[in-house]
Structure 1
């Protein structure tokens, strides 16, 4: 079955317009689905906490597709994609990876933290990610063809705040179309914090505003790290458990930043932002 025939089948290839309890820019959601149902690999970038990995899961659920996540950062050699050798019953046996099984069936394969390995680690899957969509596994002497309805979505954290990441080879970048995710608008984020995570309307709006302000300061290079959705979710959870709001903000937002520098520290900057919104 070709990818062209696959996309004509219903419900395969039919876009969803929204994802329950999750926000992504509607245009990007539409474009992303059009790409993946056309057999084109997608790369999701954006600040931490913008929902890159979660989006891949939600899309799999929305389209009733199997989901397989690969922690790319844990792969140590180019051959680890396909399996590993084990000594069993007096002989050395090659144990094939779940990745090999996943690419031979319909579903979404999420290549998480794709740039947390050196570029040579990607060499073994070049032919999987290009128009050939096949690979020869030397250990088992097998040619493996990627299923026409197997979708590849990679995620990356990029930028000055991320250590342990590597520049990609142009050959890898050329195999993906890139979409950059952003935080939900303040009002949408507040609505999610209230409906999904149990924050009160006032607290939800406060947390959303603080998150956006701190993330803006990062992009203005006034802070060394971005602020995503996660601190707000954690703060909402602490308040829901009975912690005072100031305590929740301290342990979720403030403590993520360095106290070095005293009154000129990043923690002081964060505290000033919080105090401004608490007035």
Structure 2
């Protein structure tokens, strides 16, 4: 595994020489996209038993997966959001040629510094924080401490989900901190006392505090595996594979493995929510 310190991009690449056989680029399945999905797809690739089809897994953000499809640099885009209509037409003039598969679910976890006394938020409060309308934790019953908003970069599917589905605006506070990976969000939030950020459920560590979220101010739901599985957590979201129909023969085996009983067990073991 190769780790780039800038953006913490993880790359898993099976050896291109298997049992003395030199593999060509055409025999390698290239996957690229969502940083949220990296642990999940890496685990699938490491357990994939088709020795004739090594799998390369590259992160960087959901948008980069679709750009990879457009440039024919990748056969399988990983995305934590739905493809945009403009991305579809950029990839294929006939948008029906782009195949979508939901392979797992995630709970977008809202996290703060562990010393923060605020342990729950309504969606309305969360939206106001990310719009810069609530700027101090004292406005939420907490300490008199400025709120530092941490957000992913625009290539991220988590950013797209947060701004388009949750906040419904990409006008973040002027002084927000942009981070290029889930791990980077966790690191920043763990070090900044007044910080708030968001990450995939598989990235949550003890150095941060996940918040319970209420959709309408009633029942507050913690971002646990069980609550995400039952779809009671309001920020649950599907995780997607996208590929061209022309690449179907090359990707079908790996996609089928991800959706198999064994693949779904691997997904659950990594802390994600299986589709069945």
Decide: shared fold, TM above 0.5: no
Q: TM-score, normalised by structure 2?
A: 0.27
Q: TM-score, normalised by structure 1?
A: 0.26
Higher strand share: 2
Higher helix share: 1
Greater relative contact order: 1 or 2 (C-alpha under 8 angstroms, separation 6 or more)? Answer: 2
In terms of Rg, which structure is larger? 1
